[in-house]
Amino acid sequence: MLKKLIVFISILVLISCSNDINHNDNKKIIIIQGICSRYPQDSEHWGIKIKKIIKENHKFIDKETGNIDDQIIDFSYSRNNWKNNYYPQETLLSIKNHISNLEKIYEKYPKSEFYILGHSLGGVIALSGAANSEKINKQTKSIVTVSSPIKGIIKSDENSGLKSLIELFACKSKENDEIKIWDDISNESKFIKQISDHDFKNTKVYNIVNKYDLVVSIESAKLEKKFPYFCINEVDKELFGLNHSTLLDNNVISTEIINLLIDDKKILHDC
């Protein structure tokens, strides 16, 4: 009798563990960087800190991009393959190219549910992807945009923060003059209008803005009539910082952002 009881308990434990593994494997986070991103070549990039938080606090598995068991996926702007590392200037390609790369991730994991963290341009890509692709829209559980120009930028504004960012980081090269991104994120583009018009009924969306961001204004980074938003006051500690990725560089705030993305826990900071 005791032997049968031990066997029965062992089976229950195995079933329980199997369910846990399947449940965890079904969740995947996609991290989408912004314009001129040098990740993963930049060892000090906020993406590395974010992945550490996700692994330690939420027990997600981080493997090589494309591995079937990978749960923390680095989005690639590469024009050739969604698994490839990309050059900073490839972030200036069309949003159509970027949505195609995003959709290929979903095709790789057709039974997974996705949580997308999009910084700057990354937030526009995440929302545009959901608005343009039924596959992305259906499988995406939540999107958090951080300092993303989701209302678009005024195309005629030659002194916009995003253009200044490109000049500062020398993102545009002489070898690559293909810059389509300005048309795609102008306030009159079809992608920006789709974000405003789409219902996102399957996906929770939050906009996070930094009052002191010198690259993307608060007005451009939130659709308050459509999505809940959180406003945070955070200044870059570095001299002449642009305060554009400051929220994600801060461990306390970035932890709250990930908790919001995965568990829908509201952020405490407010302007």
The rounded distance, in Å, linking the Cα atoms of 155 and 140 is 30
DSSP annotation of 270? -
Whether the Cβ atoms of residue 216 and residue 244 lie closer than 8 Å to each other: yes
Structure tokens at 245: 């990725």
CATH number of the domain at 28-263, please?
3.40.50.1820
Give the Cα separation of 214 and 253 in Å (integer): 19
pLDDT tier at 4, thresholds 50, 70, 90: very low
Instruction: Give yes or no for residue 22 having a pLDDT over 60.
Output: no
Three-class SS of residue 229? strand
Tell which phi-psi region holds residue 120, choosing left (phi > 0), alpha (psi between -120 and 50) or beta: left
Least confident of 17-21, 45-49, 136-140, 148-152: 17-21
* Percent of the chain whose predicted confidence (pLDDT) is above 90: 65
Q: Give 13's pLDDT tier (boundaries 50, 70, 90).
A: very low
Q: What are phi and psi of 72, to 5 degrees?
A: -120, 100
C-alpha span between 124 and 122 (Å, rounded): 5
Confidence label for 191 from pLDDT (cuts 50, 70 and 90)? very high
Stated pTM of the model:
0.87
| pLDDT at 232 exceeding the cut of 90 | yes
pLDDT, tens only, 144-185: 999 999 999 886 665 566 666 666 565 765 555 567 888 899
Cα separation, 200 vs 117, whole angstroms: 16
Joined together, the tokens standing for residue 244 give 């554009």
User: Residue range 226-251: average pLDDT?
Assistant: 89
- Joined tokens for residue 144: 């958090």
Start-to-end CA distance of the chain, whole Å, equals: 65
Q: Give residue-wise pLDDT tens across range 94-117.
A: 999 999 999 999 999 999 999 999
Who wins on pLDDT, 25 or 136? 136
Closest listed residue to residue 160, CA positions, set 135, 141, 139, 185:
185
Residue 36 has pLDDT above 80, yes or no: yes
Round the average pLDDT of the chain to a whole number and report it.
86
Sheet holding 113-119: strands in order across?
Answer: 72-74, 27-32, 113-119, 140-146, 204-210, 229-232
Measure the CA–CA gap between 32 and 37, rounded to whole angstroms. 10
Q: Is 179 exposed, middle or buried (0-12, 13-18, 19+ CB in 10 A)?
A: middle
If one counts every other C-beta atom within 10 angstroms of the C-beta of residue 87, the result is 18
Q: If pLDDT is split at 50, 70 and 90, which confidence band does 11 have?
A: very low
pLDDT at 226 > cutoff 90? yes
